[in-house]
Structure 1
């Protein structure tokens, strides 16, 4: 099976509610979805949601990178020669991680179809079911309380609260939500780089002193501030997770060597795809650091790819794969199945995706 053609398209999917973080507000998912077509007419699907404030990738840059640089280098390559394909993908151009991730997952999809194996089994087959948290956007405390109660009533037992816009307000937000929910619901906080190191230590210690029972704090400081992240990790009891800091394998190696965090958040759009995400999982497993499988605002194509890796590997102990739940519609036929806070991995070959409703090709 050889790569014959790469088609680039897009889908626009409204969100149920605006998605608000310390970095951005999004009202709809504007996703690039590609189709890699083989000489046997099999189709591999890949997905990239442009997230300029985190990855630096825009919709136009993803399209141009695949169409003009990455794609032409892959035409004619054997799907079975994954090592050569991934080496070509990595070296085709610097950065452009989201574009690379879309191509990577489409290639893996074809590889699974070629060998008639679901990707979660290719990655280790540890389980076929995951529990995901649900993200609560940063808003006024009463609105976040209402959204949190709705999430729990819908069956979610783990919530990720977006904070990082205002320290005093963040305390009020978290306090109000914990009081409303009681102690049984797990709360994770994501500051999206919103605090300074000493400020982060003060607020996290305040959470601890108030008995708010926070499971973990995600990316409290700026992405490049590895020393600041280590400072926070060393001066609080709550587990600290690296997200934007943990971009690819090299950055994760540095973080682990410094002991700068307690947990790693793996995202395909940061890593550049599944093959680099596997490297991150291997590094973390070597030193006994657990991982979360996270996402941007992928459609179910990207979520299925991420869930396949998470289900395959034991070191990935947590999932933040709620993007498809946040969308008001699901144009993707096949792939992972959702039941409340659970994701069931498809047993079909590859990603198990068969069609994308409303997919518009970009010439």
Structure 2
């Protein structure tokens, strides 16, 4: 077997309580449910990928392993990651479906990580990037915070050097305006501000709310997912009606849906997440059309690599989620910039604590609360 060929895999299951309730006007979550996938080659390299479940705990490790072994491992065993990441397939009929338990995302990330390690390059460089930092904005996932918690959170984020901030908004215009006022008090009038409605509004409601914010002196960088993801006509009309801000959409679409959104010129910014192959395909098309790309939340902020590889990315989202303890050295964030490490691949290694203290092979009834986000910890 060639030393670059994949020879083994390891799955690690996680289930622990978040340090706060996160969510938007539609949903809220207090538990982190996830898995880590490690793919090993014959030369001592290990590619790492993550997948998560928002609503339900992952099944047992034994069930995860059986599913992966049956459905995915035959297509990986003995194959070279550099070939797999560039493979173009066209599934049809019943084969046109996502993999179970989020394996598709974990697999894309782990394969790219492994291929970049074999090339001896940070993943951003391997993807063709020419920079090692990206601007990052502070996101609270804050809809369910009290006003006091909200103000304390964003004050702390501003103290840490963030210069742009995104908040959740909902159907109540007065409540939304109140939160924007609280944010301005916490971070100052010069800060960049984004709002995320998570499809709460209709097109006319969105226009009314955005006009209200603008008249109140809140000049937004963007409004994210203001209306239904498939309402391309509404998104275009909203962009035209609110020329002082940008419309950010695409988060909830799959790769073909994002391509249709871009080709319809129905968004000012396209929102993508963690599936590296799909992000790059979307980013290439966006670059051809001159449309910026926003990197939303990605597990352990692995999106910094695609953010640094694509020419149209102005921002990456950081939401202070308490999972940094799962890796040995999280990505460094300083003065509103996130940094790609010099280490090859992703530059992340699963921590020993993740394999022992935080590993949960079976579904748990009583959960530990994970450590607070490292950026909120006292600095030495």
Q: Structure 1 residues 60 and 11, CA, compared in 2 at 3 Å: closer, same or farther?
A: closer
Give yes or no for contact 1:70–1:92 (8 Å, CA) kept in 2: no
Q: Structure 1 residues 335 and 17, CA, compared in 2 at 3 Å: closer, same or farther?
A: closer
Matches within 5 A, 1:108-127: 108-127=112-131
Give yes or no for contact 2:124–2:309 (8 Å, CA) kept in 1: yes
Instruction: Tell me whether 1:158 sits opposite 2:203 in the alignment.
Output: no
Q: Structure 1 residues 156 and 221, CA, compared in 2 at 3 Å: closer, same or farther?
A: same
For the pair shown, the structure with the greater C-alpha radius of gyration is 2
Q: CA deviation at 1:350?
A: 0.8
Q: CA deviation at 1:198?
A: 0.8
Q: Choose which of 343, 347, 351 in structure 1 pairs with 2:346.
A: 351
Q: Hey, what's the Cα distance between the residues in 2 that align with 1:351 and 1:275?
A: 14
1:239 corresponds in structure 2 to 246
Q: Hey, what's the Cα distance between the residues in 2 that align with 1:92 and 1:33?
A: 25
Instruction: Tell me whether 1:59 sits opposite 2:58 in the alignment.
Output: yes
Q: Structure 1 residues 2 and 88, CA, compared in 2 at 3 Å: closer, same or farther?
A: farther
Number of equivalent positions:
347
Q: Structure 1 residues 5 and 362, CA, compared in 2 at 3 Å: closer, same or farther?
A: farther
Q: Hey, what's the Cα distance between the residues in 1 that align with 2:250 and 2:146?
A: 24
My pick for the range that moved more, 183-192 or 172-181, is 172-181
Helix, strand or coil: the match of 2:285?
Answer: helix
Give yes or no for contact 1:290–1:316 (8 Å, CA) kept in 2: yes
The Cα offsets for residues 106-129 of structure 1, whole Å up to 9 and x where unpaired, read as 011110111111101112232111
Helix, strand or coil: the match of 1:212?
Answer: coil
2:314 corresponds in structure 1 to 317
2:336 corresponds in structure 1 to 341
2:279 corresponds in structure 1 to 277
1:326 corresponds in structure 2 to 321
Q: Hey, what's the Cα distance between the residues in 2 that align with 1:177 and 1:287?
A: 34
Unaligned runs of 5+ in 1: none
Q: Choose which of 79, 95, 98 in structure 2 pairs with 1:95.
A: 98
Q: Hey, what's the Cα distance between the residues in 1 that align with 2:261 and 2:90?
A: 27
Instruction: Tell me whether 1:249 sits opposite 2:255 in the alignment.
Output: yes
The Cα offsets for residues 33-72 of structure 1, whole Å up to 9 and x where unpaired, read as 11112233421100112235xxxx9734994764432233
Q: Structure 1 residues 58 and 14, CA, compared in 2 at 3 Å: closer, same or farther?
A: closer
Matches within 5 A, 1:128-143: 128-136=132-140, 137-138=142-143, 139-143=145-149
Give yes or no for contact 1:126–1:313 (8 Å, CA) kept in 2: no
Instruction: Tell me whether 1:289 sits opposite 2:291 in the alignment.
Output: yes
Q: Hey, what's the Cα distance between the residues in 1 that align with 2:156 and 2:180?
A: 16
TM-score using structure 1 length: 0.86
Q: CA deviation at 1:326?
A: 2.5
TM-score using structure 2 length: 0.82
